[in-house]
């Protein structure tokens, strides 16, 4: 087969006989490219190359690491239109969202271009005479990055950039559904001057190549973003091997709307949080918890806005909602739509469109309660349960009554309610009069409970994972 995209291992592009087809979810007949799945032997080669290259990369000046990241940022920004288009074609989010994700990824590389120069330590006088204690941070070695399909550039970027800034070598295993975005990011890092072996791309299925990466004895740490069941398995494997691990997983994020909310702000937060990017965000608002006094007006306005959303080809500038990423994800969503109806909800939307591609109308499950499976399990599609509550205390209790704890939001004009919610929300992120989705890159990102394990991603705090602390004692005589 001609022009199969290859794995990047030890500074070389390596082919394999096992090739996957990358298809456009808006037009499944359209093949975006063919991508070689790495063999297990190639995975071992990638880890060996990373292990061999890492010490020199760590010993290089921070200037070198900063320059590579800065150049990658500049190339990515310059190519944002073209790469955003590719991203939208393979994942299905709208072109504006695709280009936005590339711009964000460039900003992330730019941020860690600066952070590479700011990896600092501390120095103390010892409690013993003539002795000093120095705390330094060192790279952890070879890190394995395992990423999902829903942010196929931004998540590889927000893991790779701090990993490289700190002097680690990387082996990236992107989601099988979206190899193109990771592949072009690899090309950009090469153009930016990343040394051979310091960054490696291995494509292929999670259960084979991902699992082998997690188990590999020469991989010092795993940073994973994806589903809870896979994350739980990775945590177990890493615990047995005493490996550092960082997991970012699912959500069932609550948006609370109180009677005193600005109705337009609340409706916009719900529409954006529940349905944009086809609801395929870990931070999506999937439980709308609405106080009785505003409930009917809120539902009426939100439903009208929902029904007016324009579904279509992501590359069409008019489109607001693209397809679901795959046939199996769409079928899963539709099963939850049916379940919500069985559980007694009035379902609006949630129909498959009679056209090519994996399109479904955004859905609201009205009259839901928080005990329903459709209100407890992550769907990861454009579906949200609407749960009516009596007062703030009930809203807060329902918001926190979930195994997850990634993001949460409240719409209110009361400073007291906003402040209490912010303090009592059992989530890693709490938003006031903003959607649960939509975050900055220079501050920490992550959750609690089943949503996250380990230290935070993004911002300066990301270095907690990508560095190990050393305490040195020196007697100067
Ligand atoms: P997933 O099925 O858990 O897959 C995530 C990644 O893990 C993929 O690269 C997958 O490979 C790989 N994988 C699967 N089994 C593995 C194993 N046994 N060992 C090692 N790696 C393995 O998740 P997804 O369906 O791609 O993404 C959706 C999920 O991601 C949702 O639950 C969503 O909430 C979550 N998410 C969380 C965040 C966050 O930051 N909290 C952000 C985005 C998404 P394949 O390519 O073969 O599937
Ligand atoms: Mg998957």
Question: Which ligand is nearest the CA of 175, by number?
Answer: 1
**Residue 150 CB–ligand 1 contact under 6 Å:** yes
319 and 245 in a common domain: no
**pLDDT tens profile 34-68:** 999 999 999 999 999 999 999 999 999 999 999 99
**Residue 210 CB–ligand 1 contact under 6 Å:** yes
**Residue 147 CB–ligand 1 contact under 6 Å:** yes
d(CA 55, CA 291): 57
Q: For the chain, first and last CA: distance in Å?
A: 69
Q: Ligand 1 center to residue 450 CA distance, Å? A: 14
415 and 382 in a common domain: yes
Q: What percent of the chain has a predicted confidence (pLDDT) above 90?
A: 99
Work out the pLDDT band at 72, boundaries 50, 70, 90. very high
d(CA 11, CA 247): 28
Residue 345 has pLDDT above 60, yes or no: yes
The residue behind tokens 């890492």 is 54
Number of domains in the chain: 2
Let me know if 460 is exposed, middle or buried by CB neighbors in 10 A (0-12, 13-18, 19+).
middle
d(CA 367, CA 411): 20
d(CA 237, CA 215): 7
User: Residue 263 falls within a domain, yes or no?
Assistant: yes
343 and 208 in a common domain: no
> Considering only CA atoms, which residue is closest to atom 37 of ligand 1?
249
Residue 163 sits in a domain of what CATH number?
3.40.605.10
| 248: annotated active-site residue | yes
pTM (2 d.p.): 0.98
**Residue 214 CB–ligand 1 contact under 6 Å:** yes
User: Residue 300 falls within a domain, yes or no?
Assistant: yes
Among 91, 97, 101, 248, the active-site one is 248
Collapse the DSSP code of 199 into the 3-class scheme (helix H, G, I; strand E, B; otherwise coil) and give the result.
Answer: strand
Work out the pLDDT band at 170, boundaries 50, 70, 90. very high
- Residue 1: predicted pLDDT: 57
Q: Look up the domain containing 92 and give its range.
A: 4-249+451-475
Residue 243 has pLDDT above 60, yes or no: yes
90 and 43 in a common domain: yes
User: Residue 437 falls within a domain, yes or no?
Assistant: no
**pLDDT tens profile 301-329:** 999 999 999 999 999 999 999 999 999 99
**pLDDT tens profile 182-218:** 999 999 999 999 999 999 999 999 999 999 999 999 9
308 and 166 in a common domain: no
Q: Kindly list the strands in the beta sheet with 131-139, ordered across the sheet, starting from the edge strand earlier in the chain.
A: 122-125, 131-139, 467-475
| 383: annotated active-site residue | no
Identify which of 226, 281, 336, 405 to mutate to test ligand 1's pocket (most ligand atoms within 8 A of the CB): 226
Determine the average pLDDT of the residues in 460-466: 98
**For residue 149, which atom of ligand 1 is closest to its CA?**
26
**pLDDT tens profile 209-226:** 999 999 999 999 999 999
Q: Ligand 2 center to residue 25 CA distance, Å? A: 15
Angle at 235 between CA 234 and CA 236, to 5 degrees: 90
The residues pairing with 132 across neighbouring beta strands, listed in sequence order, are 125, 474
User: Residue 167 falls within a domain, yes or no?
Assistant: yes
User: Residue 421 falls within a domain, yes or no?
Assistant: yes
**pLDDT tens profile 137-166:** 999 999 999 999 999 999 999 999 999 999
Determine the average pLDDT of the residues in 110-139: 97
Identify which of 35, 146, 148, 448 to mutate to test ligand 1's pocket (most ligand atoms within 8 A of the CB): 148
**Residue 380 CB–ligand 1 contact under 6 Å:** yes
**For residue 229, which atom of ligand 1 is closest to its CA?**
3
Number of neighbours of residue 428 by Cβ within 10 angstroms: 21
**Residue 406 CB–ligand 1 contact under 6 Å:** yes
**For residue 231, which atom of ligand 1 is closest to its CA?**
3
User: Residue 387 falls within a domain, yes or no?
Assistant: yes
**Residue 219 CB–ligand 1 contact under 6 Å:** no
Q: Ligand 2 center to residue 175 CA distance, Å? A: 7
- Residue 477: predicted pLDDT: 79
288 and 225 in a common domain: no
Residue 365 sits in a domain of what CATH number?
3.40.309.10
Work out the pLDDT band at 2, boundaries 50, 70, 90. low
- Residue 476: predicted pLDDT: 82
Q: What percent of the chain has a predicted confidence (pLDDT) above 70?
A: 100
């Amino acid at each position: 087969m001609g022009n199969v995209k290859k794995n990047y291992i030890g500074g070389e592009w390596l082919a394999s006989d096992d090739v996957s087809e990358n298809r456009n979810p808006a037009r499944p007949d359209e093949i975006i490219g063919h991508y070689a799945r790495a063999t297990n032997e190639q995975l071992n080669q990638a880890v060996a190359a990373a292990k061999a290259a890492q010490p020199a990369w760590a010993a290089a000046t921070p200037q070198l690491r900063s320059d590579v990241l800065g150049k990658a940022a500049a190339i990515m920004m310059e190519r944002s239109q073209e790469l955003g288009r590719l991203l939208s074609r393979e994942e299905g989010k709208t072109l504006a969202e695709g280009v936005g994700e590339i711009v964000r990824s460039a900003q992330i590389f730019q941020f860690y271009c600066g952070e590479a120069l700011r990896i600092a330590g501390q120095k103390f006088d010892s409690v013993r005479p003539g002795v000093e204690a120095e705390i330094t941070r060192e790279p952890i070695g070879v890190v394995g990055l395992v990423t999902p399909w829903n942010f196929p550039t931004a998540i590889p970027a927000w893991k790779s950039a701090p990993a490289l800034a700190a002097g680690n070598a990387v082996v990236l295993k992107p989601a099988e559904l979206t190899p193109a975005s990771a592949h072009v990011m690899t090309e950009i890092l090469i153009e930016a001057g990343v040394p051979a072996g310091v960054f490696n791309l291995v494509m292929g299925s999670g259960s084979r190549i991902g699992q082998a990466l997690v188990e590999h004895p020469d991989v010092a740490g795993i940073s994973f973003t994806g589903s809870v069941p896979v994350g739980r398995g990775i945590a177990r494997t890493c615990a047995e091997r005493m490996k550092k691990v960082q997991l970012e997983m699912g959500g069932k994020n609550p948006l609370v709307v109180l009677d005193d909310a600005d109705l337009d702000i609340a409706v916009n937060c719900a529409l954006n949080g529940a349905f944009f990017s086809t609801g395929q965000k870990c931070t999506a608002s999937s439980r709308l918890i609405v106080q009785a006094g505003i409930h009917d007006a809120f539902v009426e306005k939100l439903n009208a806005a929902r029904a007016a959303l324009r579904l279509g080809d992501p590359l069409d500038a008019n489109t607001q909602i693209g397809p679901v990423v795959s046939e199996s994800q769409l079928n899963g969503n539709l099963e939850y739509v049916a379940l919500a109806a069985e559980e007694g909800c009035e379902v609006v939307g949630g129909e498959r469109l009679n056209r090519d591609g994996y399109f479904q109308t955004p859905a609201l499950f009205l009259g839901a309660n928080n005990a329903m499976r459709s209100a407890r399990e992550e769907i990861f599609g454009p579906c949200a349960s609407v749960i009516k509550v009596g007062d703030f205390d009930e809203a807060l209790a329902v918001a926190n009554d979930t195994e997850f704890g990634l993001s949460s939001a409240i719409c209110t004009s009361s400073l007291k309610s906003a402040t209490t919610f912010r303090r009592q929300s059992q989530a890693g992120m709490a938003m006031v009069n903003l959607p649960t989705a939509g975050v900055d890159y220079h501050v920490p990102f992550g959750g609690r409970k089943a949503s996250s394990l380990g230290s935070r991603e993004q911002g300066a705090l990301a270095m907690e994972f990508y560095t190990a602390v050393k305490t040195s004692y020196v007697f100067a005589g």
